[in-house]
Amino acid sequence: MSSAGRSQLPGGSTERSADRTSGASEFAERLLTVLADGAFTSTYKYAVLLGLVDLCVEQSTRTGGAPTSVTTRQLAERILELYWPQVRLFDERLLQQNSGNQAAILTKILRFQNQVGEPGISVARARHLAPDEFARLVRDIEWTLVEMPLPKLQRVGSEQVHFLYRINWSDDIRRSTFMSRDFDNAIRFIGNAGEDLVRLAPFVRPLVQREWSGLVGRFNGLAEARLEQFLFGAPREAIAHLAEPLLQLQGGNCFYCGRRVRQRREVDHFVPWSRHPDNGLDNLVVTDAACNNAKRDHLAAAEHVERWAERNQQREVELAQIADVKQWSHRPRRTLSVARSIYLRLPADARLWQIQREFVAVDAPRLRSVLGAAS
C-alpha cells in the first residue's frame, strides 16, 4: 500500500478511504487463510498472531501509529505472558497444546514455575525472584519461535504468502546462528501490516482466541465452552489484592463517579480486558459495584481518560511502590501506548461510556491532547 493509505489528513478523498478499506479486507482475507491452514500441530500459530497484535498495540508512536518492526525477543516475552496462566490446571490436568508431546514452550514455563516453587506466581514476581533463570527462559522461548512458527506462519499449503512480516532467516536456521552476535532479530511488518493488525485487533483477538480454544479442546477431548474463559479470561481474583492500595490513591472514592466506596469495591481494567489484556497497575482503577457494572467492556469517555492519565503521571512514584510491594507489573509506557492505539483511532461517531447508562461522543481534540501530550 502507498504511504497515502496511512495519511491521517482530515477529509481525505473518498478514493483514498475506499483504497484503505479494500486493503484492510484483503489483509483480513489473508489472515483468515493463514488461520485456516492446517499445517500447525500446536497452538503456536495463534500465539504468534496474538503476540504480534499485542506488540503493535503496545508499541504505538505518540500519535498512536503502529511500529514498523518488533524483535523476536519482544515477541518471546509477550508469548511467555500469553502462555503463562495457561499452565495452571484445568479440571486437575495440564492442557495439551500440541498434537503429540506437549508444546515445548508450555513445558519450559511449567518447569520454570516449579523451580521457583510457586505455581500460579505472577510474571513480575517470577522475574524478580529468579532474574537469571527468567532471562534464560525468555531466550529459550525466543529460539523456539525463531526455529519454528515464525518461518512457517505465512505458509499456505506449500506456498509462502508474505503479507504480514519479513524475517532474515528460514526454517533451516541453526541454533548457533541464532546465538551469534550478528543474528538479525527484527520482524519487519510489510507495508501497512502493523497498522492493519492494530485496526483489526478488536476482531482478530476474539477470532484467534476462539480458534485457539477450539484446537486445545480437540487436543484434550474437551468442549470449548469453558476453555476460552480459562485460557484468556480476565484473572479477577488475581487482581483483587490490589484494590486496597489503589483505592487509597483515589482517596477512598470510586474512580468514575467520585462517591465514597463503601461496600463492594471492584478493580476495573480502565482499557477493557476484552479490548486489550493489560493487567499492569497503570491500567487498573477501583470502582464501586454500580459503576463497574455499568461500564462493562465499554471504553470510558475523555474526561475519565484525562483523570486516568493524570493519576498515572502524578502518582507514578506511589504506583511504582505498590508494584514493588505487591510484585505486580507496572509498565506505564506500555499501558499509555495501548490507550493511544485504541483511543486515537476511534471513529468520530463512536460512543464512550460516561456514567450509568450515559454515553458521549468522542472528544478527539481532548483525547489527542491528553494522550499525545503525555509522554
Residue closer to Zn ion by CB (options 17, 293) is 293
Q: How far is the CB of 356 from Zn ion (least distance, A)?
A: 9
The residue among 87 and 291 lying less far from Zn ion, judged by its C-beta, is 291
Cβ-based nearer residue to Zn ion, 28 or 294: 294
CA distance 169 to 142: 14
Among 258, 224, 226, 217, which Cα is nearest to 99's?
A: 217
Smaller CB distance to Zn ion: residue 256 or 343? 256
Binding positions for Zn ion, 110-149, rule CB under 5 A: none
CB of 256 to Zn ion, least distance (A): 5
Cα separation, 195 vs 208, in Å, equals 18
Exposure string of 10-34, with b = 16+ CB inside 10 Å and e = fewer, is eeeeeeeeebbeebbeebbebbeeb
Residue nearer to Zn ion on the CB measure, 58 or 288: 288
* Residue 107 and residue 121 in contact, taking contact as beta carbons nearer than 8 Å: no
Residue 276 to residue 78: CA distance in whole angstroms: 13
- Nearest-approach distance from CB 41 to Zn ion, in angstroms: 48
Phi, psi of 34 (to 5 degrees): -60, -40
Q: Copy the grid coordinates of residue 344.
A: 486515537
Q: Which of residues 253-312 bind Zn ion (CB under 5 A)?
A: 254, 256-257, 288, 291
For the segment 237-256, give every residue that binds Zn ion (CB under 5 A).
254, 256
Taking the complex as a whole, the smallest distance from the CB of residue 287 to Zn ion amounts, in Å, to: 5
Cβ 305 to Zn ion shortest distance, Å: 16
Which of 208-217 are b and which e, b meaning 16 or more Cβ less than 10 Å from the residue's Cβ?
Answer: bbebbbebbb
Which residue, 196 or 288, has its beta carbon nearer to Zn ion?
A: 288
Pick the closest to residue 212 from 85, 348, 42 (CA basis): 42
Sequence-distant (6+) residues with CB within 8 A of 153 are 34, 45, 48, 49, 164
CB of 258 to Zn ion, least distance (A): 7
Q: Report DSSP state, residue 90.
A: B
CA separation for the pair 368, 64 (Å, rounded): 10
256 or 270, CB closer to Zn ion? 256
SS3 185: coil
Footprint (CB under 5 A) of Zn ion, residues 67-86: none
Task: Tell me whether strands 186-189 and 265-269 are parallel, antiparallel or unpaired.
Answer: unpaired
Q: Which is nearer to Zn ion, 219 or 256 (CB)?
A: 256
| Residue 336 C-beta: closest distance to Zn ion, Å | 24
Location of C-alpha cell 529459550: 140
Per the structure block, which three cell numbers stand in for 46?
495463534
Least distance to Zn ion, CB of residue 328, Å: 23
Cβ proximity to Zn ion: between 124 and 300 the closer is 300
Please report how close the Cβ of residue 265 comes to Zn ion at its closest, in angstroms. 10
CB of 257 to Zn ion, least distance (A): 3
- Give the residue with the Cβ less far from Zn ion, 63 or 293: 293
**What's the CA gap between 230 and 83, in Å, rounded?**
12
Residues 6+ apart with CB under 8 A from 372: 62, 63, 340, 344
Report the interface residues with Zn ion, using CB under 5 A: 254, 256-257, 288, 291
